[in-house]
Structure 1
Amino acid sequence: MAQVYISITGLKLKAIWHAPRFWSLAMPAMAEAQSAPGNLGASARSIDGVHHTLSIWESEAAMRAFLTMPRHLKAMRAFPGIATGKTIGFYADYAPDWPEARRIWEAKAREYGAPRARLP
């Protein structure tokens, strides 16, 4: 496999009553990711109360173009009011499975708004 761009996110709701709004935004945004140009795969899992996404892209530019798509942009704008979270993006020779993605996220992800994290 040629190098791909991996994006791993994790969001934790600020309060349980934000769940309906979260899911009403997250589900359309995931569908949008899965059909976005340059997306090679996208999935989501809830692990220990953290809602994760794992997406694989042809390039960082393709992932960044997705960030401004309408449903994802709507979700990103709502995010600060309903959740906290961390993210990491990096190039790799392969797509990690969920256990490895979670380990990478725990070790290397940065809080939203912090300087970008990079894998060594």
Structure 2
Amino acid sequence: MYISLTGLKPNGFISYLRFWVLAIPSFRQAQTAEGNLHCEVKKMHEYQCTITAWESRELMLTYLRSGAHLKAMKVFKQIATGPTYGYESETIPTWDEAYALLTEKGKMH
């Protein structure tokens, strides 16, 4: 299974509002996307984090490049910063494990 981790930090109050306007539809899209096995969101430290698990990396990329998520990605650099990390695994990480992976191995955007 493919695990995708994100940690996003809005750039200020207005960006925080814009972030949520985009994040809620993106999260709903992920919940019903083909191949999605698990989808969670939680605030950790200063980041809004997600853990998603997918049947394959290809199905995660199909989600990533479509619908509400694509719309959010197009304005991401204007409203937020943060790390992302994806990897193959047999298990879904705990929140502590996910945050450690994001801070140690995540690519900053």
Do Structure 1 and Structure 2 share a fold, with TM-score over 0.5? Answer: yes
Q: Find the structure with the greater CA-based Rg.
A: 1
Equivalences for 1:104-119 in 2 at 5 Å?
A: 104-112=101-109
Q: Distance in 2 between matches of 1:78 and 1:46?
A: 21
Q: 2:4 aligns with which of 7, 17, 20?
A: 7
Deviations 1:80-104 (A, max 9, x none): 1000111010001111111111111
Structure 1 position 49 matched with structure 2 position 15: no
SS of residue paired to 2:82: strand
Give the whole-Å Cα distance in 2 for the aligned partners of 1:78 and 1:21.
10
Shift of 1:17: 2.1
Q: Who is 1:71 aligned against?
A: 68
Q: How many residue pairs end up in the alignment?
A: 109
Q: Which has the larger share of helix?
A: 2
Moved over 2 A (4+): none
Shift of 1:73: 0.4
SS of equivalent residue, structure 1 residue 41: strand
Q: CA separation in 2, counterparts of 1:43 and 1:27?
A: 12
In structure 1, the residue matched to 2:93 is: 96
| 1:35 and 2:64 are equivalent in the alignment | no
> Which ranges of structure 2 fall in alignment gaps of 5 or more residues?
none
Structure 1 vs Structure 2 CA RMSD: 0.8
TM-score by length of 1: 0.87
Distance 2:21 2:14 in 1: 13
Structure 1: distance between partners of 2:55 and 2:71:
24
